[in-house]
C-alpha cells in the first residue's frame, strides 16, 4: 500500500519521479449528514478515475447513513431520508470504494473535509486506511491563481471561471466531475512552472518560501546519476558541495518543504547555478565530495571542511621523549617519533593520553632536556610521587627511561595489553570503592585509546599497500570496481551486466591516477577519504581482485576489547563508529585473485 503523504509534505526520495500524465487520480466528493467525520455520516459517494486527462472509471452511489438527515442538509443537497431508505449501508459501500481507489492519488476540493470522513469511516468500520497520496484542489487553486482572476476558490467559482462541462450541484457525482475539470485546468497552469511529477506538485503546494519555489529551475537538466553537485553564487564561487546516488532527485529536494535547515535556505537564496559532476560509483562521488570541500572550503558546508582540526597523540623524537598532542604528522618517524590518531578533537586525544600514561608514565613537562642533565634536584612533584622517572635530573636511569619509551612505542604500534591491564585494574579498584562514575571515566579513556589504536592501524594498513583492486556487485548484476593506491582512490568504473569484467578492470587500472607513496605514519589522501574506502571494503559482497601486499592489522591492537567495551556501554562515545565484528574476527584478509 502507498503511504499517506499530505500534499503539504515532501515525498521520500525513493518515491520521486511519478509523472503527472502517468498517475491515476481518483477525484472524490462526498455528501454527508453534516456531523463530525468520526461519525462517518456519509449519504453519497461520487468519484471519477482519470489518467492522462482521460476518464477511465466512475463510482457513484447513495448511502443509507443509518441516521436521520437534518432538514437543512436535505434542502441543500436534495438527498432526503426517503431517497436513501433503500440505499446500501456504508459497510457495503466503503470496501467497494477503497478497491476503486486502490493505488491512486485521491483528489478532493477542500480535501481535509472529504478525506476526514473517509478516514472516519475506516476507523468506525475497522478498515485500515490505505494511505493514498492526497491533492487538495482548493489549496492548489489558492497557490496557482491570482486574486484578480477569481474572487475566491470555492468549487462553484472555479467551475465558472474554467467553464467546466459540469456545474457543481451539491450532489457528489456532479461535484466530482466538476472537480475533475478544475484539476485538469490547474495542472495545465502549474505545468508552466515546471511541475511535471507528483513530487513536483507536492513541492509546489507545500509550505516553502517563494525563493525556494523560484529556484526550482536550477534542478532542470541535471543528470539522474551518481555524483557530486556544486551550488554556486553569481561569481561562480562554490557555496555548497554535496553528493547523491541521483544528482537531479537530490537537488530537487532543496526546493521542497523537506528542506528545513536555515543555512540551506540562505544558501538557496544566493545560489544561481548548480554544477553536476557525474561519477562512476557512489564511492567515487563521496571521495570527490571530500576533496572538493577540502579544496574549495564552501561556506555552507560544515562537515569535512576543516581536516586541520584533527589531532594526533605523538611520542616525540627528542632526548627524553614525551607524549604530546599535535595537529599534523611530520616526517620524523625515522628519528623515533610515533603517532596515534587522528582524533576528532584534542580533548579525545587527551583522554587517550591519560590511559596510556596510567600504564606507562612518561614525563609530561615540555622542557627541552639535555642527554646528561646537570640538575641534582629531586625533580617535580610527579617524580617525588614515583610517577615519573625524572629524566630532567642528573641521577636519571637512562636505561630505565629508554625501556619505558620503548614500551610506549610498542603500545602505540599495536601491543595495547599493558594499557588495557593498567586501566582495568584502576577501574576494578574504583568499583570496589563504589566510585562507579570514576570507573566509567577510565573506561571511556580506555575506549578513546583503543579506538585510536584501531583507527591508526586500519589507516596504516591501507596506506602502506601500493595497490588494491576490489569489486562489488551492483543491484543490476554488474560490477563496481575501485583501484586504491596508498589509501587514496585512483580509479573507479561500473561494469554493466553481461560484460566481461577483467578487460574493463585492466583498462581501469592502466588509466588510474598515479599516487606517490606517503611518508611513514601518513596516508596519501585525506583521512576521511581513506576511511570511506575502508568502510566500502568492509561492506558485504566485496571481492578483492588483487593486492600488492596482504591487508593486515596487528593482532593485539585492541579491536576485540573495543568490541567488549561497546557491548558494556551500548555504544562507544568516541569520534566515529568502528566495525567491531570485522576487527575482532580477523586481522588478515585473503586475497581473491579474480572476479568470479
- Helix ranges restricted to H, 145-197: 155-162, 172-191
Output the nine-digit C-alpha cell for 373.
642533565
Q: Is 398 a catalytic residue?
A: no
Which of 170, 184, 448, 457 is an active site residue? 170
How is residue 112 annotated by DSSP?
H
Angle at 132 between CA 134 and CA 157, to 5 degrees: 25
- 58's enclosing H/E stretch is strand 54-62
Nearest to 464 by CA among 561, 352, 346, 552: 552
Q: Which residues pair with 489 in a beta bridge?
A: 484
Cα(338)–Cα(341) distance, integer angstroms: 10
Residue 12 vs residues 258, 264, 282, 554: alpha-carbon distances, Å: 9, 18, 20, 44
- CA–CA gap between residue 372 and residue 367 (Å, rounded): 14
Report the run of H or E that residue 441 belongs to, with start and end.
helix 436-463
* Alpha-carbon span 312 to 296, nearest angstrom: 25
The closest alpha carbon to 171, from 43, 260, 280, belongs to 43
277 beta partners: 228
* Cis ω before 342 (30° cut-off from 0): yes
The CA radius of gyration of the chain, in Å to the nearest whole number, is 34
Among residues 297, 338, 308, the alpha carbon closest in space to that of 321 is found at 338
Report how far residue 261's alpha carbon sits from residue 66's, in angstroms, rounded to the nearest whole number.
50
Torsions phi, psi of 560, nearest 5?
A: -65, -45
Cell readout for 520 is 611513514
Q: Is 315 within 8 Å of 284 (Cβ atoms)?
A: no
Measured distance CA(488)–CA(523) in Å, rounded: 8
Instruction: List CB contacts of 595: < 8 A, sequence separation 6 or more.
Output: 471, 479, 501, 502, 505, 543, 545
Place of cell 459497510: 91
Among all chains, which residue has been given the C-alpha cell 597523540? 313
Q: Which residues are catalytic?
A: 170
Amino acid at each position: 500500500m502507498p503511504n499517506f503523504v499530505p500534499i503539504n509534505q515532501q515525498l521520500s526520495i525513493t518515491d520521486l519521479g511519478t509523472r503527472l500524465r502517468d498517475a491515476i487520480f481518483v477525484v472524490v466528493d462526498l455528501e454527508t449528514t453534516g456531523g463530525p467525520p468520526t461519525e462517518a455520516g456519509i449519504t453519497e459517494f461520487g468519484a471519477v478515475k482519470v489518467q492522462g486527462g482521460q476518464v477511465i472509471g466512475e463510482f457513484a452511489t447513495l448511502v443509507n447513513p443509518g441516521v436521520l438527515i437534518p432538514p437543512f442538509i436535505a434542502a441543500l443537497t436534495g438527498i432526503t431520508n426517503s431517497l436513501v431508505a433503500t440505499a446500501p449501508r456504508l459497510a457495503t459501500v466503503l470496501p467497494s470504494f477503497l478497491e476503486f481507489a486502490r493505488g491512486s492519488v485521491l483528489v478532493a476540493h477542500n480535501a481535509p473535509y472529504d478525506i476526514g470522513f473517509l478516514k472516519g469511516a475506516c476507523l468506525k468500520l475497522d478498515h485500515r486506511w490505505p494511505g493514498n497520496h492526497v491533492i487538495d484542489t482548493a489549496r492548489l487553486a489558492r497557490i496557482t491563481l491570482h486574486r484578480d482572476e477569481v474572487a475566491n476558490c470555492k468549487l462553484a467559482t472555479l467551475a465558472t471561471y474554467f467553464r467546466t462541462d459540469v456545474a457543481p450541484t451539491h450532489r457528489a457525482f456532479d461535484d466530482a466531475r466538476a472537480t475533475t475539470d478544475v484539476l485538469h485546468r490547474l495542472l495545465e497552469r502549474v505545468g508552466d512552472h515546471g511541475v511535471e511529477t507528483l513530487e513536483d506538485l507536492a513541492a509546489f503546494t507545500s509550505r516553502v518560501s517563494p525563493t525556494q519555489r523560484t529556484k526550482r529551475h536550477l534542478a532542470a537538466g541535471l543528470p539522474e546519476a551518481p555524483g557530486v553537485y556544486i551550488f554556486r553564487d553569481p561569481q561562480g564561487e562554490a557555496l555548497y558541495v554535496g553528493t547523491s546516488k541521483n544528482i537531479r532527485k537530490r537537488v530537487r529536494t532543496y526546493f521542497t518543504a523537506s528542506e528545513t535547515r536555515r543555512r540551506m535556505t540562505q544558501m538557496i537564496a544566493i545560489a544561481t547555478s548548480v554544477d553536476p559532476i557525474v561519477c562512476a560509483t557512489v564511492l567515487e562521488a563521496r571521495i570527490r565530495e571530500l576533496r572538493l570541500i577540502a579544496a574549495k572550503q564552501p561556506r555552507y558546508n560544515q562537515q569535512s571542511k576543516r581536516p586541520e582540526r584533527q589531532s594526533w597523540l605523538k611520542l616525540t623524537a627528542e632526548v627524553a621523549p614525551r607524549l604530546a598532542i599535535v595537529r599534523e604528522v611530520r616526517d620524523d618517524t625515522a628519528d623515533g617519533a610515533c603517532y596515534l590518531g587522528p582524533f576528532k578533537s584534542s580533548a579525545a586525544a587527551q583522554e587517550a593520553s591519560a590511559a596510556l600514561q596510567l600504564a606507562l608514565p612518561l614525563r609530561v613537562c615540555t622542557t627541552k632536556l639535555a642527554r646528561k642533565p646537570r640538575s641534582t634536584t629531586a625533580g617535580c612533584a610527579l617524580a617525588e610521587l614515583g610517577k615519573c622517572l625524572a629524566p630532567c635530573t642528573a641521577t636519571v636511569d637512562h636505561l630505565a627511561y629508554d625501556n619505558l619509551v620503548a614500551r610506549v612505542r610498542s603500545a602505540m604500534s599495536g601491543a595495547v595489553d599493558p594499557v588495557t591491564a593498567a586501566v582495568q585494574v584502576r577501574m576494578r579498584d574504583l568499583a570496589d570503592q563504589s566510585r562507579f562514575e570514576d570507573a566509567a571515566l577510565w573506561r571511556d579513556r580506555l575506549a578513546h585509546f583503543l579506538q585510536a589504536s584501531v583507527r591508526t592501524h586500519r589507516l596504516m594498513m591501507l596506506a602502506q599497500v601500493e595497490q588494491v583492486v576490489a569489486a562489488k556487485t551492483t543491484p543490476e548484476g554488474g560490477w563496481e570496481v575501485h583501484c586504491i593506491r596508498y589509501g587514496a582512490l585512483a580509479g573507479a568504473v561500473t561494469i554493466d551486466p553481461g560484460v566481461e569484467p577483467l578487460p574493463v578492470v585492466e583498462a581501469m587500472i592502466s588509466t588510474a591516477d598515479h599516487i606517490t607513496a606517503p611518508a611513514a605514519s601518513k596516508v596519501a589522501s585525506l583521512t576521511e577519504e581513506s576511511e570511506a574506502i575502508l568502510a566500502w571494503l568492509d561492506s558485504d559482497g566485496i571481492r578483492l581482485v588483487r593486492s600488492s601486499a596482504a591487508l593486515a592489522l596487528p593482532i593485539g591492537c585492541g579491536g576485540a576489547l573495543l568490541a567488549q567495551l561497546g557491548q558494556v556501554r551500548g555504544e562507544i562515545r568516541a569520534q566515529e563508529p568502528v566495525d567491531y565484528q570485522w576487527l575482532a574476527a580477523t586481522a588478515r584478509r585473503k586475497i581473491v585473485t579474480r572476479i568470479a
